[in-house]
A = this chain, B = another copy of it.
Amino acid sequence: MYSFKNDYSEGAHPAILKALMETNLEQHEGYGEDKYSQLAREIIKGKVNNPHAQVHFVCGGTQANLIVISASLKPHQSVISAETGHINIHETGAIEATGHKINTVKGENGKLTVDKIKEVVELHVDEHMVKPKMVYISNTTEIGTLYKKRELEDIYSYCKTNDLYLFLDGARLGSALCSKENDLTLEDLGRLTDVFYIGGTKNGALIGEGIVINNRKLQEDFRFYMKQRGALLAKGRILGIQFLELFKDDLYFKLAEHANIMAEKLKEGIEKKGYGFLTPPVSNQIFPILPNEVIERLAKKYHFYLWSKVDDKTSAIRLVTSWATKEEGVTAFLQDL
């Protein structure tokens, strides 16, 4: 069985494990105050081109989301998300557990638009309702699509005019930035978001997400929030060392590129067989629509998620590639299709 189930089926890129091994017996300060974490933070601030940014490393995406959102909002403030947003359906109410409402809107291919955000904002007019204060978007989205620079600029600009924070969930940011469709850079995220995070777990790290806080208002006391939510690792070095490895020579982008190339190859092979997709296939998550009997046959040799019924005879499945996906796996899958 070969797995296209997700992008965290394997461990870490070998270079990362090597770095952990080489530094293993050194004695360092705890809680992310070691020199590797500090260096990784500096490098990321450079890539983002925001010397005033703060960078913090945490263990996972839900943890990043719940800390960022609860640290940014007052009790009566809410966050706007697409219905498909990870915080809305796949985090067991983690945001609500910190006391905040998520205002959901139907997205377009998993994305928010200014019009949708505006609808929510204009609906909330007095103290009988929550006060929307943050916009949450994911890039790539939970259904594999991505934001163009124009779209992000529009959303950010609306946010600034309407006193909203923009938070970008980058669990799969590598795949987004390396997509053929992409026209955004890390620098753009440094100026077009208030806070975002760079996903490590799904792009080669053992664990780790790097939160980048651009807006100074959101920086104050951030380590307190991390500690309070159980996110300040005693051996914080293990996050710093990984991010240092990922960013000191652009390994992060090379890994994402590999994932995208593998997805592209899958996409082309699937198209060649005449099948279509549920959403535009532009990243490392693609959602081909296949006849049910084909899906059943493939499921005997490959792991993947059955995503949604399309009609009586066909369904969409989700195929995910990663830095570790083997070309042989892809080739075999296409042959078996």
Is the CB–CB distance between B8 and A230 below 8 Å? Answer: no
Partner of A94, one of B9, B207, B230, B234: B230
Is the CB–CB distance between A24 and B20 below 8 Å? Answer: no
- Residue positions of A touching B, CB distance < 8 A: 2-3, 6, 8-12, 14, 17, 20-21, 23-30, 58-67, 70-71, 74-76, 78, 89-94, 96-102, 104, 127-131, 201-202, 206-207, 221, 223-235, 237-238, 303, 324
Chain B contacts of A223 at CB under 8 A? 127
Give the complex CA separation of A21 and B206 in angstroms.
Answer: 11
Chain B contacts of A6 at CB under 8 A? 30, 234
Given A21-B17, A97-B229: A235 and B91 interface contact (C-beta under 8 Å) = no
Is the CB–CB distance between B27 and A17 below 8 Å? Answer: no
Interface centre among A70, A92, A233, A235 (most CB of B within 10 A): A92
- Min CB distance A178 to B, Å, is 20
Given A20-B206, A92-B129: A229 and B230 interface contact (C-beta under 8 Å) = yes
Give the complex CA separation of A130 and B91 in angstroms.
Answer: 8
Give the complex CA separation of A27 and B323 in angstroms.
Answer: 13
The 6 A-B residue pairs with the shortest CB-CB distance in the complex, in nearest-first order:
A63-B230, A11-B24, A76-B224, A93-B101, A8-B234, A127-B223
Chain B contacts of A230 at CB under 8 A? 58-60, 62-67, 91, 94, 229-231
Is the CB–CB distance between A201 and B234 below 8 Å? Answer: yes
Is the CB–CB distance between A91 and B228 below 8 Å? Answer: yes
This chain: how many copies in the complex? 4
Give the complex CA separation of A59 and B63 in angstroms.
Answer: 11
Show 13 A/B contacts (Cβ-Cβ < 8 Å), sorted by A: A2-B27, A9-B28, A9-B29, A11-B238, A58-B230, A60-B233, A61-B234, A71-B75, A92-B129, A92-B130, A94-B230, A96-B100, A97-B99
Give the complex CA separation of A307 and B120 in angstroms.
Answer: 17
CB-nearest residue of chain B relative to A28? B9
Partner of A92, one of B12, B28, B128, B303: B128
Given A94-B227, A127-B221: A23 and B11 interface contact (C-beta under 8 Å) = yes
Is the CB–CB distance between A232 and B11 below 8 Å? Answer: no
Is the CB–CB distance between B92 and A228 below 8 Å? Answer: yes
Is the CB–CB distance between A234 and B324 below 8 Å? Answer: no
Chain B contacts of A14 at CB under 8 A? 24
